[in-house]
């Protein structure tokens, strides 16, 4: 069966309660109608996702989102208007008796995102309904940033994939939550605290913007995440890498290798272009996995940009985090 779908084929399958992978500007999403409990439960099975980890929901516009949520705080509204459609998500209060509780596992808040990828936006507009779409990967593994990565991981379990090319950001969206006293970054991403503060400043809002990831708020953050299949070891000096045909090294352009670059050596890019490191990270883990080696080593020196240092290490730390 051909697993590659057109936008219209994907719309028909979703409408009938199916599960398909869709491209987004962050990572590929595993999509179903958010208000369909059976389709939602299939996503948990396909991903082997813990039942206490709710699904992020995607909307075609702010107007559509407003039909589902209580009026957000002013800061949330300003940031929604400024950054969406785009790689950012908002934890917001659902209206009472919400039909989205199938996707949120009964929670009264939803993580909501309006994506900018034109193919996904087109699917959302044609369906005119919210779509639940966690990252399109087996639970615990790195997210897929291309259609071939999705098919290699979960191709036999899904109804198809819409190929929208490589995801431009390559890491998952920034997730924000709001209170009267602060804006919390629950998951760091391409959009960082300085970008957020700048937008608020022009509206005369001076709330602190804090990194405040909490497993209580976003249950997904307590699990091992983003890991390759090949056992991965972190090294804080390149001198700790002893090349061997059974080992791979993943590093950056600045690393001074004590040996000749070979097929088992991967560079994520330059530490002065952290967006490129982010865009290459999961793809590189995928390519490294194809070599089926005994072990991989990751050497990533400090990234000069503080927000990117925090964001990339957030992902990397979780690759070895166990619960
Ligand atoms: O960029 C992204 O956000 C991608 C694309 C496909 O949109 N999606 C994504 O989904 O990364 P996922 O499920 O892999 O990560 C969403 C995170 C998880 O840590 C989950 O626990 C949290 O958001 N989350 C989702 N709904 C929530 C809710 N109602 N309350 C608290 N946390 C929630
Ligand atoms: Mg995920």
Tens of pLDDT, residue by residue, the chain (323 residues): 579 999 999 999 999 999 999 999 999 999 999 999 999 999 999 999 999 999 999 999 999 999 999 999 999 999 999 999 999 999 999 999 999 999 999 999 999 999 999 999 999 999 999 999 999 999 999 999 999 999 999 999 999 999 999 999 999 999 999 999 999 999 999 999 999 999 999 999 999 999 987 777 778 777 778 999 999 999 999 999 999 999 999 999 999 998 888 999 999 999 999 999 999 999 999 999 999 999 999 999 999 999 999 999 999 999 975 43
Among candidate residues 175, 216, 179, the one with its CA nearest the CA of residue 192: 175
**C-alpha distance from residue 104 to each of 28, 92, 111, 134 (Å):** 20, 11, 8, 11
Q: Buried b vs exposed e over 247-280: b needs ≥16 C-beta within 10 Å?
A: bbbbbbeebeeeeeeeebbbbbbebebbebbbbb
Give the pLDDT score at 323. 39
Q: Pick the atom of ligand 1 nearest to 221's CA.
A: 19
**Atom number in ligand 1 closest to CA 104:** 29
Q: What integer pLDDT is reported at residue 1 of this predicted model?
A: 58
Closest residue by CA, ligand 1 atom 21 = 220
Quote the ligand 2 centre to 277 CA distance (angstroms): 18
Contacts for 236 with CB less than 8 Å, ≥ 6 apart? 299
The whole-angstrom separation of Cα 32 and Cα 290 is: 29
Instruction: Note if the pTM is more than 0.75.
Output: yes
Residues 311/278, Cβ–Cβ less than 8 Å: yes
CA pair distance 211, 207, nearest whole angstrom: 13
Mutation to probe ligand 1, out of 218, 281, 321 (largest number of atoms < 8 A from CB)? 218
Q: Which two tokens stand for residue 227?
A: 């890991």
Give the ligand at the shortest distance from the Cα of 278: 1
Q: How far is the CA of 137 from the centre of ligand 2 (A)?
A: 7
For residue 104, the model assigns a pLDDT of 98
Q: How far is the CA of 61 from the centre of ligand 1 (A)?
A: 18
Q: Please compute, for residue 74, the number of CA atoms within 13 A of its CA located in the half-sphere on the CB side.
A: 10
Q: Which residues line ligand 1 (CB under 6 A)?
A: 24, 26-27, 29, 53-56, 89, 91, 104, 107, 109-111, 113, 133-135, 172-173, 175, 217-221
- The reported pLDDT for the residue numbered 74 is 97
Nearest CA to ligand 1 atom 32: 218
Centre of ligand 2 to C-alpha 243, Å, is: 32
Please state the atom number of ligand 1 nearest to the C-alpha of residue 137. 14
Ligand whose nearest atom lies closest to the CA of 89? 1
CA-nearest residue for atom 20, ligand 1, is 220
pLDDT at 260: 87
């Amino acid at each position: 069966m051909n697993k590659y779908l057109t936008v219209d084929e994907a719309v028909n399958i979703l409408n009938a309660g199916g599960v398909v992978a869709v491209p987004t500007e962050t990572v590929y999403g595993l999509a179903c109608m958010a208000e369909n409990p059976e389709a939602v439960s299939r996503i948990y099975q396909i991903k082997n996702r813990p039942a206490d980890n709710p699904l992020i929901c995607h909307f075609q516009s702010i107007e559509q989102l407003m039909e589902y949520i209580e009026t957000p705080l002013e800061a949330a509204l300003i940031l929604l208007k400024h950054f969406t459609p785009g790689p950012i998500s908002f934890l917001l209060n659902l209206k009472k008796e919400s039909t989205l509780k199938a996707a949120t596992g009964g929670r009264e808040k939803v993580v909501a995102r309006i994506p900018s990828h034109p193919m996904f936006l087109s699917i959302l507009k044609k369906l005119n309904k919210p779509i639940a779409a966690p990252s399109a990967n087996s639970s615990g593994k790195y997210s897929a940033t291309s259609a071939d990565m999705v098919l290699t991981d979960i191709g036999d379990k899904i109804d198809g994939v819409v190929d929208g090319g490589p995801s431009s950001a390559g890491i998952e969206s920034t997730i924000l939550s709001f209170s009267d006293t602060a804006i919390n970054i629950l998951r760091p991403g391409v959009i960082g605290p300085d970008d957020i503060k700048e937008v608020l400043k022009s509206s005369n809002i001076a709330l602190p913007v804090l990194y405040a990831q909490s497993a209580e708020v976003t249950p997904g953050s307590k699990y091992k995440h983003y890991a390759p299949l090949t056992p991965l070891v972190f090294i804080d000096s390149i001198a700790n890498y002893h090349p061997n045909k059974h080992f791979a090294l993943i590093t950056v352009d600045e690393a001074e290798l004590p040996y000749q670059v070979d097929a088992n050596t991967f560079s994520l890019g330059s530490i002065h272009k952290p967006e490129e490191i982010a865009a290459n990270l999961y793809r590189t883990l995928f390519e490294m996995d194809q070599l089926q080696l005994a072990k991989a080593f990751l050497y990533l020196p400090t990234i000069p940009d503080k927000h990117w240092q925090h964001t990339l290490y957030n992902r990397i730390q979780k690759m070895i985090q166990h619960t």
